Structures are given as structure tokens and as C-alpha cells.
């Protein structure tokens, strides 16, 4: 279970039994407490892990500059229109309709091929930051960090 959470880069608070050896970790998303634990300490450690995890999410500013893992990338307007809803729903699926509406708010036709081209270009632009846009057939797109790139 802990290994699966590590692979997903999820925050983890490990509970160590009295007399057990605590783990050694350098991962900022992992911490431990010895049982029994004070409720206030538990809350503070959980809040700290959540805050650290939130710093690892991409952010796009008002000038269409995407920031992630200590790096930044200025985006063209179309790329930002694709990236913004994906970042807002980071780690969750965003439908094609939502992305198309962000690009062409007054167009009901969806522009399927044009959307595919825009997503493809944005995918290539985000790759150097270690961000991946996955296509989920018949569902939409998902933005996540490429763990193999070491960007997270």
C-alpha cells in the first residue's frame, strides 16, 4: 500500500508502533509519527504534507506562464486555453467539450480535428517540464506528472 502511494506521489504519514524502528526518508511527501500520537501533532503533520503536495502541482498565471517543479514555460494563448482547465482539474479527466469550449466559446461544432492538433502541440510543449497529457478514449484528457522524468 505504501509503495503504491509512493508511486502515485501521494502524501503519506506513516504510523510507527512503539519500539519499532522509524523509517528513513528524504521524500518531502512522507513523514512518520510514533504511536500513540497527540491529535494536534497528527493534524499539523497531515496539514504540512498536504501543503507540500500542493506545491508540486502546476500553476498557470495571468500572463500564461506555466510553473512546475521549479521551472517555467511561457505558453501561447491556445496552449494556455488547453492547459488551464487541465491544471484546474490536475490528475482528473477533462472532457473534450470543456477544452473545446475554452478555445471556441461561441462554436457548438466542437472542431474535433482542430482540438486534436491543439492538444498535440500543447502535449509537446509541456513534455520538457515533465508534464504529460494523456488521452482517455471516449472520456477526455488527463494532465499528470511523468514520474519517469523525475520532474516531481
Name 146's bridge partners.
none
Between the CA of residue 82 and those of 14, 19, 31, 145, what are the distances in Å?
37, 52, 35, 16
Residue 36 has pLDDT above 90, yes or no: yes
Cβ distance 96 to 110 under 8 Å? yes
Please, which pLDDT band fits residue 109 given cuts at 50, 70 and 90? low
In the block, cell 498536504 appears at: 50
pLDDT at 147: 53
3-12, 24-33, 54-63: range with highest mean pLDDT:
24-33
The predicted model gives 99-110 an average pLDDT of 82
Q: How far is CA 106 from CA 79, 94, 112, 114, 122, in A?
A: 18, 19, 15, 15, 22
* Domain ranges for the chain: 2-54, 59-149
pTM of the full predicted structure?
0.64
Task: Using alpha carbons, list the distances in angstroms from residue 93 to 85, 98, 137.
Answer: 10, 10, 11
Across 9-13, 50-54, 85-89, 124-128, least confident range: 50-54
The set of long-range contacts for 108-116, using a CB threshold of 8 Å and a minimum separation of 24, is none
**What distance in Å separates the CA atoms of residue 82 and residue 103, rounded to the nearest whole number?**
7
Q: For the ranges 89-93, 103-107, 125-129, which has the lowest average pLDDT?
A: 103-107
Tell me the pLDDT tens digit for each residue of 137-151. 999 999 998 754 433
Class for the domain spanning 59-149: mainly alpha
Task: Report pLDDT for 61.
Answer: 93
Amino acid at each position: 500500500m505504501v509503495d503504491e502511494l509512493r508511486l502515485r506521489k501521494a502524501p503519506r504519514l506513516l504510523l510507527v508502533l512503539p519500539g519499532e524502528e522509524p523509517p528513513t526518508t528524504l521524500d518531502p511527501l512522507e513523514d512518520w509519527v510514533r504511536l500513540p500520537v497527540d491529535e494536534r501533532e497528527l493534524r499539523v503533520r497531515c496539514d504540512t504534507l498536504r501543503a507540500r503536495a500542493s506545491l508540486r502541482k502546476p500553476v498557470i498565471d495571468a500572463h500564461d506562464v506555466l510553473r512546475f517543479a521549479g521551472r517555467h514555460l511561457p505558453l501561447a494563448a491556445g496552449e494556455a486555453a488547453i492547459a488551464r482547465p487541465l491544471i484546474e482539474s490536475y490528475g482528473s479527466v477533462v472532457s473534450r467539450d470543456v477544452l473545446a469550449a475554452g478555445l471556441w466559446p461561441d462554436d457548438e461544432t466542437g472542431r474535433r480535428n482542430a482540438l486534436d492538433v491543439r492538444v498535440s502541440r500543447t502535449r509537446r510543449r509541456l513534455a520538457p517540464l515533465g508534464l504529460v497529457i494523456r488521452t482517455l478514449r471516449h472520456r477526455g484528457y488527463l494532465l499528470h506528472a511523468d514520474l519517469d522524468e523525475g520532474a516531481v
